């Protein structure tokens, strides 16, 4: 199922790229190669249709991405952080014995004269 959705993800991305490149911009872009689309899409041309089509394909792309994330998280129960091995060094003491540390001489600086 994940493989099917991954292939569908790539197909949707390619379709969105083509739809965006066919849209009319300040410089006509690849829309010039599509011929006269006014007869097929009406007097206004394909601008309104391509904008709606791109929006719908964008919604499908987001839904497919969420579906892929949901399925992937349910099939993979362990994370990468759980696979990291933590090695402990036996030469480092786990506790410090404070009784072996020599005490520092205390200066009585708070006495008033």
> What's the token pair of residue 24?
């009319």
Separation between Cα atoms, residue 48 and residue 81, nearest integer Å: 48
Name the 3-class secondary structure at 60.
helix
pLDDT one-digit tens code per residue, 42-74 = 555 666 888 889 999 999 999 999 999 999 888
Do the beta carbons of residue 16 and residue 61 sit within 8 Å? yes
pTM above 0.75, yes or no: no
Do the beta carbons of residue 15 and residue 77 sit within 8 Å? no
Cα-to-chain-centroid distance, residue 55:
20
pLDDT one-digit tens code per residue, 69-105 = 999 888 777 667 777 777 766 665 556 666 666 666 6
């Amino acid at each position: 199922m994940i493989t099917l959705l991954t292939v569908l993800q790539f197909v949707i991305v390619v379709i969105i790229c083509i739809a965006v490149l066919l849209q009319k911009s300040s410089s006509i872009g690849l829309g010039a190669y599509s011929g006269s689309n006014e007869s097929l899409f009406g007097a206004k041309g394909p601008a309104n249709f391509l904008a709606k089509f791109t929006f719908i394909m964008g919604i499908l792309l987001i839904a497919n991405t969420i579906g892929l994330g949901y399925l992937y998280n349910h099939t993979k129960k362990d994370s990468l952080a759980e696979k990291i091995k933590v090695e402990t060094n036996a030469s480092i003491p786990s506790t410090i014995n404070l009784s072996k540390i020599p005490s520092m001489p205390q200066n009585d600086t708070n006495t008033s004269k």
